[in-house]
Chains A and B, each alone.
Chain A
Amino acid sequence: DAGVTQSPTHLIKTRGQQVTLRCSPISGHKSVSWYQQVLGQGPQFIFQYYEKEERGRGNFPDRFSARQFPNYSSELNVNALLLGDSALYLCASSPTGSGEKLFFGSGTQLSVL
């Protein structure tokens, strides 16, 4: 079975641009979480979605938004990119998202110039 897949793997943008990152969860998993990992730090929680509904949001500005589709895949959108948005963006899936194991994809490395 395929694990969590993310696309693209790498992305280079300039300040002020917008970016969309994509994630497909493990088959049968209905919950997707997004995390941001800045170089040298642990991942930081951005969003969790379950059954297309946002269940929680971390301490990130409104420039960050996400959605989940009927097939449980998800997109993370970041508007008006800043240099500080450069990071590895990780998607994690779990069956229901309630106190379960999180399984991560390989991430999308975003560089903002």
Chain B
Amino acid sequence: GQQLNQSPQSMFIQEGEDVSMNCTSSSIFNTWLWYKQDPGEGPVLLIALYKAGELTSNGRLTAQFGITRKDSFLNISASIPSDVGIYFCAGLRGTYKYIFGTGTRLKVLA
């Protein structure tokens, strides 16, 4: 099935460092969602973006809806060990179908 491209695929960082990841597509999307998933659990919604250029924060997390509407970015500042997990982007196709990304696996070294 179709998946959006996320990069990096995985990353190891030191506690306290900032993290940046992105999600790209050849198609335009109307809404972007960012999720975090722990092993064996369902994805937990972090941030929702509804307009091109929109910048939204949730605590240490900041996400942006790309101007071209074909990409989105997520930044995590001052990472902590509990930030470990897999981060997924999801773009809305039409009115109800979300296309998910391939995921970015984050590991934080204490």
> Do B98 and A105 have beta carbons less than 8 Å apart?
no
Task: Map CB proximity to B onto A40-78 as digits: 1 under 8 Å, 0 otherwise.
Answer: 011111001010000110110000000000000000000
Chain B contacts for A101, CB-based, 8 A: 33, 45, 48
**A45-B98 contact in complex given A101-B48, A109-B40, C-beta closer than 8 Å:** yes
B101 at the A interface (CB under 8 A) = yes
How far apart sit A59 and B3, CA to CA, in the bound complex (Å)? 13
Interface residues on B, range: 20 to 34
B33 x A99 contact (CB < 8 A):
no
Q: Which residues of B from 19 to 59 have beta carbons under 8 Å from A?
A: 30-31, 33, 35, 40-45, 48, 50
A99 to B50, CA, bound (A): 9
Residues of A within 8 A of B42 (CB): 4, 90, 104-107
In Å, the complex CA distance between A43 and B43 comes to 9
Q: Which residues of B contact A35 (CB under 8 A)?
A: 100
Docked complex: B60-110 residues within 8 A CB-CB of A: 88, 90, 92, 94-103
Query: Which 7 residue pairs spanning A and B have beta carbons closest together?
Result: A42-B100, A104-B42, A44-B1, A106-B42, A48-B96, A98-B95, A107-B42
Q: List 18 A-B contacts (CB under 8 A).
A: A4-B42, A33-B98, A42-B3, A43-B100, A45-B1, A45-B97, A48-B97, A50-B96, A56-B94, A56-B97, A90-B42, A98-B96, A99-B30, A103-B45, A104-B35, A106-B41, A107-B42, A109-B40
B residues lining the A interface (CB < 8 Å): 1, 3-4, 30-31, 33, 35, 40-45, 48, 50, 88, 90, 92, 94-103
